[in-house]
Chains A and B, each alone.
Chain A
Amino acid sequence: MIQRLPSGVRFPVLALLAELIGLGFFGLSAFLIHGSAPFLPYGMEGPLSLVGLACSGVLAGILAAIGLYQLHAYRPMWLAVPVTLLIYLPILAVAAVSTWLFLVFLGVA
């Protein structure tokens, strides 16, 4: 289905999907560990949150960056600038916050 998307839309959609999946994974892990019916043991918070944030931060950021490159390389400026501001900036902002959290949880920031 994703392959059928026009090339200009593919990467922002993929980046958005990565964010939704990553944050969803983080939230689901929280409920599976600390919810009313715990399914996963305590102590899994660190590794699972890193997986979720790597997806919604690092992976989404890379996908958005590829999309940005294609946009600015192959589309006219009058289109590239507003698309960057209206579509890529919100996606990248979420990815940047997730990446910062990922680095803090990892202990390198």
Chain B
Amino acid sequence: MHTRALLVAIFLPVLLLLGVALTLDLPVGGKTEVEGRNTRAAVAVRDPVHPLEEMGTWAFCMPLLKRSYEKVYAFTETDRKNRQPVLEQFQSGLVEALQRFDTVDLYLMAHTNSYHGWVEEIEPELRAKIRLVYNSGCWCARQNDIWLKLGARCYVAHPEAASHAAFFVYFLRRLTAGYSVERAVSEANHNADQFFARLAALVPSTSRDRNAWHHSRGQVFGEGNFKIGALGS
């Protein structure tokens, strides 16, 4: 037995995996929010982007959302020129979710958008069941009044133009692990700061992305002190 060779073969891959996890994100502590799962649903929509981005979005989101919500209504817009059919499906899916469940959370994973137009047409009594709305679109924080008036209890969005994907990865992992919305946003902002700083150190040309991110950190509007698994919320 060659002990040194065995140590190198085991520890080098393990050290690299640990380094990647330390650089990107360590396992999130806490427990999956399963309490009251059968009372809530999530509606998620993805705008038309590169197929690889769409693949990554759903491969990442769906397992996390399915663990915390009884049903996940997922919609992917595939054609920028003809968005109407999918947006109609989004609206009818949202109505169905609002009719069937006590609480519905919305995840809008799209560039600058105006999905609120499709929600405004829904009856106010149903809309009142919308609890959390996360909007990844650039400049979409300015819609906070609209969403809160529509009935959302909490609106999380970004004020400027930047890449918000890193934030969303950190945010959703923490939210579904039982963090309150405010805490999940705060930690996701912190982690995204570190992510962009490391990226800029490795690839100096991305320092522009880091600066853009600093102006577009996640913001919470309305009540953000609840966890998605909190009963009666």
Contact = CB atoms under 8 A, between A and B. Distances in A.
Interface of A: 26-27, 29-31, 33-35, 38, 42-43, 45-46, 49-50, 61, 64-66, 68-74, 84, 88-89, 92-93, 95-97, 99-100, 104-109
A96 B78 contact: no
Interface of B: 2, 4-6, 8-10, 12-13, 16-17, 19-21, 24-25, 27, 51-52, 54-56, 58-60, 62-64, 67, 74, 76, 78, 173
Given A42-B76, A68-B5, A104 B55 contact: no
Contacts of B8: 68-69, 72, 84
B24 to A, nearest CB: 6
B20 A73 contact: no
A100 B62 contact: no
For the residues of A in contact with B, the DSSP-based class is helix
Contact of A46 (B13, B19, B59): B59
A105 B16 CA distance: 19
A37 to B, nearest CB: 11
A55 to B, nearest CB: 15
A45 B59 CA distance: 5
Contacts of A66: 9
A41 B76 CA distance: 12
For the residues of B in contact with A, the DSSP-based class is helix
A65 B9 contact: yes
A108 B51 CA distance: 25
Contacts of A45: 54-55, 58-59, 62
9 contacts: A68-B12, A69-B2, A69-B6, A88-B12, A92-B12, A93-B16, A96-B17, A100-B20, A105-B63
B51 A31 contact: yes
Nearest to B169: A104
A95 B58 contact: no
Contacts of B12: 65, 68, 84, 88-89, 92
Nearest to B1: A73
A49 B9 contact: no
A68 B51 contact: no
A50 B12 CA distance: 23
A100 B17 CA distance: 7
Contact of B51 (A33, A65, A89, A93): A33
Contacts of A108: 27
A42 B74 contact: yes
Contacts of B4: 72
